[in-house]
A and B are shown apart, each in its own frame.
Chain A
Amino acid sequence: MLRVCDLEAGYGHVRVLKGVSIEVAAGEAVTLIGANGAGKSTLLKVLAGLLPAWDGCVELEGKNITGMRAHKRVREGLVLVPEGRMLFASMSVEDNLRLGAYSRGGKEAASEFGQDRATVYELFPVLGRRATQTAATLSGGEQQMLAIGRALMARPRLLLLDEPSLGLAPKVVTEIFSALQELRRRGLTILLVEQDARVALRHADRGYVVRTGEVALAGTAAELMDNDDVRLIYLGAWHGRD
């Protein structure tokens, strides 16, 4: 579904991505793990069109989208749940979801809004109970659920998630990842950036280890969890296997 080849990008004169190549097949959940500053979020920003690629290619289902602008990528089904959630804090949960469906426009989307909203409320029942509350008044976990729900309103084909567990209590993280599992079961393709490598690999089919702007290692989730380097550096297993 997604093919990224030799992607280079950065900020100003600083090259952050130095030729990253990854692939995500339809229906797969793939994770990018790595330390702070490795370039994981930068890669997601380039994929979402928020940062221009300096070189290389991005293809979605065979279509070259390297130079495509962000709003058009959303229409193509490539939707990002950004780091920090970036909700519309002063608006209600319902209005946030309505804006999530913005890219689909037209009468058909208007009639499907209720159906899509029901799907989101079924996945995250707490949002249904807080429908008229402003996003600012939600807890961190609820806000993350709303950010995912808002992205789902665009009917993504590939969902990009940037640090969904950031700053959340373990119980809430479990809740969010079980919702992501449910989405996977329904056939949604997911590309996940996550600092908590253990959580990420437990919920992914495959993973890439990103180190200083390059893919240092790739494999299935099981292979990566078994890899000594990964265990030592990212899973915190210093003394043998746990």
Chain B
Amino acid sequence: MGARPGRAQRSRLVLIAAIVIALAALPFVYSDAYLLKVLSFVGINVIIVAGLSLLFGYAGQVSLGHAAFYGIGAYTSGVLAVRFGWPWIACVAAAVVVSAIGGLILAVPTLRLKGHYLAMATLAFGQIAYVAFVEAKGITGGIDGLSGIPSPSLGPLELRSAESNYLLVWFFVGVALLLAGNIVALRPGRALRALHASEAGAQACGIDVVRTKVQVFVVSASLAGLAGSLFAHLVGFISPSSFTLVLSIELVAMVVLGGMGSLAGAALGAVVLTLIPNLDAVVPGMSPRAVELLQDWNADIFGVILIVVMLFMPGGLAAGAGRLAGWVRRRRPAPSEAEA
């Protein structure tokens, strides 16, 4: 017999439903192309961060090379579409598979590494991938990049408009969050958390540590590859400068800002940090000078936000939001007996 959902669970379901409806309705009520484009990039980052949150936030496996998987997905999709004329959906599938293989290639030799050593190894992987994107000119177009990547299309239906791209990206955001959410809520999620808390303890509990690490690397890389593919087809042009170490660090910052071990928090971190340099998209009437300042000082603003969050909300935005919700609940008058 299924248990009836509790009040907190019901509130959460209502919140999720409200967010989904608001996101889906947005292009129909406010179809500003710039806003929708920025929100599409927000969605792409949420997909990558959903995977990184599993790997880093839940399993505690640091990755400073996630831009590489994002790039592998983007180049796989772009090259197959431009040079071989593959249909969009096949390019997406190939991007996910090739990135997953990339995750497997990185996971196996780094199984024994932890903490800083793993961070260094993943950083090196990211740099190797970056150099490969630059040097494999015949395939990737080198530093000049790869242009002419077609928009997403399903048969005769070409998704060119900002509205359709936005809806497509956020559909995949939903898929990614659903997948990651299920992983976290079920048995594999317990294994990830155990791995993070104590690898030796996890082994003592009969958790297959090797398999768990490899699986989470592969899932995380696949999601980054999916995001890369979406990015390539949305922008139509990719170059190595989109897949640098700086991006990898920003992605880690999004997870930390949102909250380690919280999928919703990581998604929130991605939303906040992606919106900062594009704040004019959501704040109408911002002066061009203010936008320029935000973009010029982007990295510094990231740094200050991270320091403030670490000092005052060590659990990230998710923990901060949880504390705020608790405070609101405590201030709310208790229901009377008749109501109860």
A residues apposed to B, CB below 8 Å: 48, 50, 69-71, 74-75, 79-82, 84, 86-91, 95, 98-100, 102-103, 105, 150-151, 154
- Inter-chain CA distance A102–B190, complex, in Å, is 8
7 chain-A/chain-B pairs, Cβ below 8 angstroms: A48-B203, A86-B201, A89-B197, A91-B197, A98-B190, A102-B190, A102-B194
Contact of B204 among A69, A89, A95, A151 (CB under 8 A): A151
Please determine whether B197 and A90 come into contact, CB atoms closer than 8 angstroms. Answer: yes
B60 to chain A, nearest CB (A): 11
Question: Given A71-B206, A102-B205, A105-B187 in contact, is the A88-B193 Cβ separation under 8 Å?
Answer: yes
Please determine whether A79 and B198 come into contact, CB atoms closer than 8 angstroms. Answer: no
- Inter-chain CA distance A17–B193, complex, in Å, is 34
Q: Which residue of A lies closest to B194 (CB)?
A: A99
Please determine whether B197 and A154 come into contact, CB atoms closer than 8 angstroms. Answer: no
Q: Which B residues lie within 8 Å of A105 (CB)?
A: 187
Contact of A87 among B187, B198, B206, B209 (CB under 8 A): B198
- Inter-chain CA distance A102–B204, complex, in Å, is 10
Contact of A99 among B200, B205, B210 (CB under 8 A): B205
Please determine whether B194 and A86 come into contact, CB atoms closer than 8 angstroms. Answer: no
Please determine whether B190 and A99 come into contact, CB atoms closer than 8 angstroms. Answer: yes
Please determine whether B205 and A150 come into contact, CB atoms closer than 8 angstroms. Answer: yes
Q: Which residue of B lies closest to A150 (CB)?
A: B205
A132 to chain B, nearest CB (A): 16
A124 to chain B, nearest CB (A): 17
- Inter-chain CA distance A99–B190, complex, in Å, is 7
Q: Which A residues lie within 8 Å of B204 (CB)?
A: 48, 74, 79-82, 86, 150-151
Is B208 at the interface (CB under 8 A from chain A)? yes
A11 to chain B, nearest CB (A): 14
Q: Which A residues lie within 8 Å of B198 (CB)?
A: 86-89
Please determine whether A102 and B187 come into contact, CB atoms closer than 8 angstroms. Answer: yes
Please determine whether B201 and A71 come into contact, CB atoms closer than 8 angstroms. Answer: no
- Inter-chain CA distance A151–B204, complex, in Å, is 8
Interface 0/1 of B182-217, CB less than 8 Å to A: 000001001101100110111111111110000000
Contact of A86 among B187, B191, B200 (CB under 8 A): B200
- Inter-chain CA distance A99–B195, complex, in Å, is 11
Question: Which of B190, B198, B205, B209 counts the most A-chain CB atoms under 10 A from its CB?
Answer: B205
- Inter-chain CA distance A80–B207, complex, in Å, is 13
Q: Which A residues lie within 8 Å of B202 (CB)?
A: 99
Size bracket of the B interface: 10 to 19
A25 to chain B, nearest CB (A): 24
B residues apposed to A, CB below 8 Å: 187, 190-191, 193-194, 197-198, 200-210
Q: Which A residues lie within 8 Å of B210 (CB)?
A: 69
Q: Which residue of A lies closest to B197 (CB)?
A: A88
- Inter-chain CA distance A142–B203, complex, in Å, is 21
Q: Which B residues lie within 8 Å of A99 (CB)?
A: 190, 194, 201-202, 205, 207
- Inter-chain CA distance A81–B207, complex, in Å, is 14
B273 to chain A, nearest CB (A): 25
Q: Which A residues lie within 8 Å of B206 (CB)?
A: 70-71, 74-75, 79, 102-103, 154
Please determine whether A74 and B205 come into contact, CB atoms closer than 8 angstroms. Answer: yes
Q: A90-B197, A99-B190, A99-B205 given; name 9 further pairs at CB < 8 Å.
A: A50-B203, A71-B206, A75-B206, A89-B197, A98-B190, A99-B207, A102-B191, A103-B207, A150-B204
B141 to chain A, nearest CB (A): 45
Q: Which B residues lie within 8 Å of A87 (CB)?
A: 198, 201
Q: Which A residues lie within 8 Å of B194 (CB)?
A: 88, 99, 102
Q: Which B residues lie within 8 Å of A91 (CB)?
A: 193, 197
B82 to chain A, nearest CB (A): 45
Please determine whether B190 and A71 come into contact, CB atoms closer than 8 angstroms. Answer: no
- Inter-chain CA distance A87–B191, complex, in Å, is 14
Q: Which A residues lie within 8 Å of B187 (CB)?
A: 102, 105
Q: Which residue of B lies closest to A103 (CB)?
A: B206
- Inter-chain CA distance A50–B205, complex, in Å, is 12
Q: Which A residues lie within 8 Å of B190 (CB)?
A: 95, 98-99, 102
- Inter-chain CA distance A75–B209, complex, in Å, is 14
Q: Which residue of A lies closest to B208 (CB)?
A: A71
A77 to chain B, nearest CB (A): 10
- Inter-chain CA distance A236–B187, complex, in Å, is 49
- Inter-chain CA distance A147–B207, complex, in Å, is 16
- Inter-chain CA distance A74–B210, complex, in Å, is 15
- Inter-chain CA distance A70–B200, complex, in Å, is 10
- Inter-chain CA distance A82–B198, complex, in Å, is 12
- Inter-chain CA distance A117–B193, complex, in Å, is 20
